[in-house]
Chains A and B, each alone.
Chain A
Amino acid sequence: MDGKIISIQVAIIGGGPAGIEAASILSRYGVQVSLFEGESKWAHNIGNKFKLFPDFSSADELVQTLSQKIVENQIPAYLSTKIVALEKQKNAWVLTDEQGRSYVADTVLLATGYDIFDAKRKEELGYGIYNGVMTSVDLEAMLKTGKITNVLGEQPQCVTFLQCVGSRDEKIGNHYCSKVCCVTAVKQAIEVKKMSPQTDVFVFYMDLRMWGQGFEELYREAQEKYSIRFVRGRISEAASTFDDRVQIKAEDTLVGQPLKMSTDLLVLMVGMEASCGTKKLAACCGIDGEYGFALSKQPHLADNQTAQRGLFVAGACKRPMSISDAINDARAAATEIVEYLKIVPANKK
């Protein structure tokens, strides 16, 4: 610690959609907030995406709009400032960043978000071993280039998506559903089809959970308009073929027959896990729940509060969440914080 201490009313850790939204609302209420982001870009998880479900709006535009909010509301914002420790001291919270700088805040909002599942842990699917195996995040990057290519740089004949990689799987210890992958796969499948109409697109799923507005319609459109094939079955193993394609084995459970096929690209729909920051900070202040996610006080009426007074949570640090859910959750958290600040008088300064 270099002794320099910055004092803040509300510190928001995490500059994703939840953090930025909460910050802008709080500052509009006249609350003095500071926003901390470990990465060098705002909302980097969204920034890695091409288009967003269900309306195919541009991800970059959303990042732009969110960043604009920081500027408009003149929020003190710290990029590349990774908070590594969070500690309660009397009535204040002390935040410490990687460089050893400390910040003191009356109230803290944890919006540290998620990380994607490391697909290498599912070794049988061959991520990092076979060239044709990629994650949904890799595919977004490829979509951003505007061109879909196979390993050889040609237009792929076949692209296959596999759901539930790193979620709903006791083999890697994640029993939960990651919620957004189902619709993401449908969205990506449509995008692949749009860019490369000749490509056959398959989606292997265990259950398709089209929970949001417009999702079911998107699924239907994918089947009807884009002829995307949905196969109910889990791909158990992948192997490479002599021509550097990926051979996959699954069972079409609705037909009741094993299925073996080769595909140019196997896209693993990797689920969400608690981010490093979430795991570390939630554990710091004893609000770590299952799988390392932050634990809210109560799921219905106090979903933004925690067991610690003055510590709030919002967004995907609690559980897998879509962008819109995270933004809504941040608004709810902002309301909670405003209420909280009213009853806690400024006890110092």
Chain B
Amino acid sequence: MSSYFHPFILPFCIGTLVLFVIIAVKFYRWITTLDRKQKKNVWMSLLTVRVFPALWRIVKEIVKEVLLHVNITRYNWRMGYMHRSIALGWFLLIVTGFVETLFHFRGGGHLPWLGIFFRFFVRDYTYGISRVWADVMDLLLLYVLSGVSIAIFKSIYSRVVGIRKNTKLRWFDICLRYSLWLIFPMRLLSESCTAALTGNGGFLTQGIGDMLPTEFAQVMEVPFWTAYSTCLCVFFVLFPFSRYMHIFTEPLLIVFRSLGVRESSQPTGYTRMELNACSRCGICIDGCPLDKELKINDIQGVYLLRDVRHGLPHRNATENCLMCDQCVVDCPVGIEITEIRKQERNKGALDTHDNYRFLDSIQSFNAIGRIAYFGGCMSHLTPGVTESMKKIFDAVGQKYWMMDEDKTICCGRPLLQQGFIAQAAELRRKNAHLIVESHAQYLVTSCPICYQSFKKEYNLPIKVIHHTEYLAALIRLGKLKPHKTGLKVAYHDPCELGRGCNIYDEPREVLQAVAELARVQKEREHSICCGHSLGNTALDVEKQDKVRDAALRNLKADHPDLIATACPMCKKAFQRDRYTTVKDIAELIAEQL
């Protein structure tokens, strides 16, 4: 057995040991600091039949995302290739090396480092089938090396992989990146040297080995293997503290997410998992309208997660965000960036004493047999929308109770977005009380912000629908038969309705009943925020208008007659532009009754 030992393996062994200890400690801490609700979800998934779909999801997600990087590839195939080649390639190198070792020793007992340093220790590896093994290993190494070379090019010029910008890294990450990049060339050189001396290499290592002078190989073999081992050691010891921690965290995240865990209003162990699962790929920078239009390049998800994880100051990153959720949709790891940002916004330890007592006196309305209609705060400034909805209700003979005809209690979402969690709950309590007391059939709302709030944050006993859903249903049922016009209309997906609630088809369906849809390049989940989102308070109007202009350029590319939207906020934002005609879908329908 002693022939399978050499001092150069020590760095590797120590590094690996340290790595596993650190990771075990971290995982333990994260899992134990899940909050009660999250733990309950985990047990509910593990102890019921839900466990089977959960397990299936875990396996599927890990293969898809951790190894194959399907989401990144879908977003950008060159970047996907880079990530996949390194992740999958390395994984296969390890697995294949392991199997190769098993095969060679006929399943007999062997030492754990043998799979890694196989070529060095098994020098008589030149019999028939071994050539195939060697070729396979070389192919995998070549695969990884191709990824590494793309990574190196990308660090110099990001457009190589079709990404506008590289993530700005900490110096620590940069050091570690070099050690990662060195591992595979080192392995190549080490194996080539051994191949030169023993002839046990595959097509690549043997090819290079044959070119090396024997004296060089003799002198350099052990130093190269030592360097390889040392690179591995450095990388393993440091990486739990670097962005590469995502390699091990992502599977863990997938496990817990599949078991039904989601972000809470306060940071928990799950938040730590999400923070560590970010690979800082920079896809969130790519889609961010603030970066694109305003050159604000320090607030994107990647920077927020980085700074929160490492405890760096991040006031700007916390505050300056439109909360348009573009990054959440784009994130290949599926990190709930917006939720984490809300947690951070709440960290001003905002006082919670309630001063909304003045709302207590509001009486509900007996709305049995009616629907409740909630226009929302903003709709007071867009009477065109509410008046159209009233006209439509009357036209189809629907009895309704407009909850906020005169005064509106805000749905609470704007407060929540700014981190005022307790105050938002207070407003929700008041509104929920009004709605439940009224015994209305269901709730229709015109504002996607309220809609998302009512739907996700309220837990109402009645169904909540947005007016576009309502109109779509009426048209499907044939209750509403608007006249078709020759208008060409570009539809703007409001963030809160589209990315927020996945309502993409109903508005289009309704619009097609009265007009022709113009082609819009970036639409549905890629729709550009109108810039005036309530999620942001850091931007002044001039800057918001720049984002809006980008949205308008996108919408107007096909020269539509007008722009339609389904959000009073977006409508107001577009109305500010003197060269734009914008209408709410409800208005377009009401005009054609």
State whether these chains interact.
Answer: yes
A contacts, CB < 8 Å to B: 121, 123-124, 126, 129-130, 170-173, 236-239
Interface membership of B384, Cβ < 8 A = yes
Tell which of A121, A126, A170 touches B575, judged by Cβ atoms closer than 8 Å: A121
- Extra pairs beyond A129-B384, A129-B387, A172-B575 (6, CB < 8 Å): A123-B384, A124-B382, A129-B383, A172-B576, A173-B578, A236-B381
The residue on A at minimum CB distance from B584 is A123
Contact with A along B358-402 (1 / 0, CB 8 A): 000000000000000000000011111001000000000000000
Complex Cα distance, B278 from A231, in Å, reads: 57
- Report how far A126 CA is from B577 CA in the complex, Å: 18
- Per DSSP, chain B at the interface is helix
Q: Which residues of B contact A171 (CB under 8 A)?
A: 576
Instruction: Give chain A residues whose Cβ lies under 8 Å from the Cβ of B406.
Output: 239
Contact of B381 among A121, A123, A130 (CB under 8 A): A123
Contact A239 B380 (CB under 8 A): yes
Q: Closest B-chain residue to A171, C-beta based?
A: B576
Report the separation of the CA atoms of residues A238 and B384 in the bound assembly, to the nearest whole angstrom.
12
Distance to closest chain A CB from B539 (angstroms) = 15
Q: Which residues of A contact B571 (CB under 8 A)?
A: 123
Contact A173 B383, beta carbon cutoff 8 Å: no
Assembled-state Cα–Cα distance A236/B572 (Å)? 14
Number of contact residues on B: which range applies?
10 to 19
Kindly report which residue of chain A lies nearest to residue B385, judged by CB atoms: A123
Give the CA-CA distance A239 to B578 in the complex, in Å. 24
Residues on A with C-beta less than 8 A from B384 are 123, 129
Give the complex CA separation of A129 and B381 in angstroms: 12
> Known: A121-B575, A123-B575. Contact between A170 and B541, CB under 8 A?
yes
Within the complex, the shortest CB–CB distance from B389 to chain A, in Å, comes to 13
**Once the chains are docked, how many angstroms separate the CA of A237 from the CA of B382?**
9
Residues of B within 8 A of A239 (CB): 380, 383, 406
> Which residues of chain A are within 8 angstroms of B380 by Cβ–Cβ distance?
124, 237, 239
Rounded to whole Å, the gap between the CB of A281 and the closest CB of chain B is 18
- Compute how far the CA of A123 lies from the CA of B572 in the bound complex, rounded to whole angstroms: 9
The smallest beta-carbon distance between B305 and chain A, in angstroms, is 36
In the complex, what distance in Å separates the CA atom of A121 from the CA atom of B577? Answer: 10
Task: Point out which of A126, A129, A170 has the most chain B C-beta atoms below 10 A from its C-beta.
Answer: A129
A269 to chain B, nearest CB (A): 19
Residues of B within 8 A of A121 (CB): 575, 578
User: What are 26 A-B contacts with C-beta separation under 8 Å?
Assistant: A121-B575, A121-B578, A123-B381, A123-B382, A123-B571, A123-B572, A124-B381, A124-B382, A126-B383, A129-B384, A129-B387, A130-B383, A172-B575, A172-B576, A172-B578, A173-B576, A173-B577, A173-B578, A236-B381, A237-B380, A237-B381, A237-B383, A238-B383, A239-B380, A239-B383, A239-B406
Nearest CB in chain A: distance from B415 CB, A: 21
B572: A residues at CB distance < 8 A: 123
Q: A171-B576, A172-B578, A173-B578 are in contact. Are A124 and B541 (CB under 8 A)?
A: no
* Complexed CA–CA distance, A239 and B575 (Å): 19
Assembly CA distance A236 to B381 (angstroms): 8
Give the residue name and chain of the A residue nearest to B579 (CB).
A173
Residues of B within 8 A of A (CB): 380-384, 387, 406, 541, 571-572, 575-578
Docked Cα-Cα span, A103 to B530, in Å, equals 46
With the chains together, A124 CA to B378 CA distance in Å? 10
Beta-carbon nearest neighbor of B542 in chain A: A170
Across the A-B interface, give the 7 residue pairs with the lowest CB-CB distance, nearest first. Answer: A124-B381, A129-B383, A126-B383, A173-B578, A237-B380, A123-B382, A123-B384
Contact B383 A123 (CB under 8 A): yes
How distant is the Cα of A341 from the Cα of B578 in the complex, in angstroms?
39
A173–B576 Cα distance when bound, in Å, is 7
Residues of chain B with a CB closer than 8 A to A170's CB = 541
Complex contacts, B381 vs chain A, CB 8 Å: 123-124, 236-237
A121 to B576, CA, bound (A): 8
Rounded to whole Å, the gap between the CB of A119 and the closest CB of chain B is 12
- How far is it, in angstroms, between the C-alpha of A129 and the C-alpha of B406 when the chains are bound? 17
User: When chains A and B are docked, how far (Å) is the Cα of A170 from the Cα of B575?
Assistant: 12
Minimum Cβ distance to chain B for residue A151 (Å): 15
Q: Give bound CA distance, A172 to B572, whole Å.
A: 10
Interface centre among B384, B541, B571, B577 (most CB of A within 10 A): B384
Please name all residues of chain B whose beta carbon is closer than 8 Å to the beta carbon of A126 when the two chains form the complex: 383
A123–B382 alpha-carbon span in the complex (Å):
6
Q: What CA separation (Å) do A239 and B375 show in the bound complex?
A: 13
CA separation between A130 and B577, bound complex, in Å? Answer: 23
In the assembled complex, the Cα of A171 lies from the Cα of B573 at a distance in Å of 9
Expressed in whole angstroms, the minimum distance between the Cβ of A77 and any Cβ of chain B is 33
A153 to B71 CA separation, bound complex (whole angstroms) = 66
Give Cα distance in the complex from A238 to B382, angstroms: 10
Q: How far is the CA of A85 from the CA of B113 in the complex (A)?
A: 83
Q: Taking CB as reference atom, which chain B residue is nearest A273? A: B578
Whether A124 lies near B578 (C-beta < 8 A) is no
Residues in A with CB closer than 8 Å to B383 are 123-124, 126, 129-130, 237-239
Nearest Cβ on chain A to B545's Cβ, whole angstroms: 9
Chain B CB within 10 A, most for which of A123, A170, A172: A123
Q: How far is the CB of B317 from chain A (nearest CB, A)?
A: 28
Chain B contacts for A123, CB-based, 8 A: 381-384, 571-572, 575
* CA A170 to CA B576, docked complex, whole Å: 8
- With both beta carbons as reference points, the residue of chain A lying nearest to B378 in the complex is identified as A124
Looking at the assembled complex, report how far the CB atom of A339 sits from the nearest CB atom of chain B, in whole angstroms: 37
Q: Nearest chain B CB to A89's CB is how many angstroms away?
A: 30
Q: How far is the CA of A130 from the CA of B541 in the complex (A)?
A: 29
CB proximity of B549 to chain A, nearest CB, Å: 12
A141 to B406, alpha carbons, bound, how many Å?
Answer: 32
Tell me the minimal C-beta distance from B245 to chain A in angstroms: 47
Give the nearest-CB partner of A130 in chain B.
B383
Residues of chain A with a CB closer than 8 A to B387's CB: 129
- Which B residues lie within 8 Å of A130 (CB)? 383
Q: Which residues of B have CB within 8 Å of A237?
A: 380-381, 383
State A238–B541 Cα separation when bound (angstroms).
24
